[in-house]
């Protein structure tokens, strides 16, 4: 999604920068590194806040109880794993509201898990240079292969986490090593599947951009 199409995104950026005492109305006016994610993972919020980052998730505000708005950007002010509460700046009401983390995640998942994170950089920050894949169009018939790669990636992730002691739990709990994502790929919410699909699609686009052609063997 183009950031300029996210309702209230610019307003949230301005608020977040003011909160941090940083001059400028857009992240591009600062030295912040900006990332767009598509997975509703509370761990992203906790980690970004600990690193001093800006966290702007896009939520279905109608699921937060008071708003006749479907999609809107918000700013995470605080997230407390002990109380399971999150403080959000919601532009519609122009104030800070408290919500249970589970309620926040539900509203976040409803938009596909869109989240903008931004972190301050310095001269020691590694700046990865990716091959531009935006212009690459995958040939017809790659959807099945992309889904197979996505499912395999999830299974590899699950095996790695299980080797560390992680098991299924109704909500992510790092202290108990529990996560609701410890299920077969088919049972994942669409927001989590989309994360794996983006990875798989970018892998196929990279191969295409480098001149490789993938063909399915007969009878396979």
Q: How far apart are CA 148 and CA 152, in angstroms?
A: 6
pTM, to two decimals: 0.68
* Burial category of 150 from C-beta neighbours within 10 Å (exposed 0-12, middle 13-18, buried 19 and up): buried
CB 201 within 8 A of CB 211: no
Q: For 138, what's the count of Cα atoms within 13 Å in the CB-facing half-sphere?
A: 17
CATH of 3-120, one of 1.10.3080.10, 3.90.70.10, 3.30.565.10, 3.40.50.10800: 3.90.70.10
Query: How is the beta sheet containing 32-38 ordered, strand by strand?
Result: 32-38, 114-120, 54-60, 71-73
Question: According to CATH, where is 1.10.490.160 located in the chain?
Answer: 143-209
Q: What is the pLDDT along the chain (220 residues), one digit of tens a residue?
A: 455 578 899 999 999 999 988 887 888 888 888 888 887 888 889 989 988 899 999 999 888 876 666 789 999 999 988 899 999 998 877 789 999 999 999 999 888 888 999 988 877 878 788 888 888 888 778 889 999 999 999 999 999 999 999 999 988 787 889 999 999 999 998 878 888 998 999 999 999 889 888 887 775 5
pLDDT for residue 131: 85
Every domain of the chain with CATH number 3.90.70.10 lies at 3-120
What pLDDT, on a 0 to 100 scale, did the predictor assign at position 67? 63
Domain at 143-209, CATH from 1.20.58.100, 3.40.50.300, 1.10.760.10, 1.10.490.160: 1.10.490.160
Q: Cα separations (Å) of 47 from 79, 80, 118, 186, 202?
A: 10, 12, 12, 28, 25
For the chain, give the longest Cα–Cα distance.
Answer: 63
3-class DSSP state for residue 117?
Answer: strand
Separation of alpha carbons 187 and 151, rounded Å: 11
What local confidence, expressed as pLDDT, does residue 154 receive? 96
């Amino acid at each position: 999604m183009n950031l300029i199409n996210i309702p209230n995104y610019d307003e949230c950026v301005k608020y977040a920068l003011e909160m941090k005492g940083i001059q400028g109305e857009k992240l591009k006016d600062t030295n912040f590194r900006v990332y767009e994610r598509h997975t509703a993972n509370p761990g992203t919020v906790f980690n970004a806040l600990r690193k001093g980052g800006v966290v702007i998730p896009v939520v279905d505000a109608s699921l937060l109880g008071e708003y006749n708005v479907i999609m809107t950007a918000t700013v995470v002010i605080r997230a407390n794993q002990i109380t399971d509460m999150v403080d959000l700046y919601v532009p519609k009401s122009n104030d800070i509201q408290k919500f249970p983390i589970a309620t926040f995640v539900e509203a976040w998942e409803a938009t596909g898990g869109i989240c903008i994170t931004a972190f301050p950089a310095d001269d020691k920050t590694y700046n990865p240079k990716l091959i531009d894949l935006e212009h690459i169009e995958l040939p017809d018939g790659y959807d099945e292969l992309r889904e197979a790669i996505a499912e395999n990636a999830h299974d590899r992730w699950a095996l790695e986490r299980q080797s560390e002691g992680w098991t299924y739990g109704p909500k992510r709990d790092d202290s108990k090593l529990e996560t609701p994502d410890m299920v077969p790929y088919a049972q994942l919410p669409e927001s989590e599947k989309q994360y794996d699909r983006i990875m798989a699609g970018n892998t196929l686009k990279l191969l295409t951009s480098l001149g490789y052609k993938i063909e399915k063997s007969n009878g396979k």
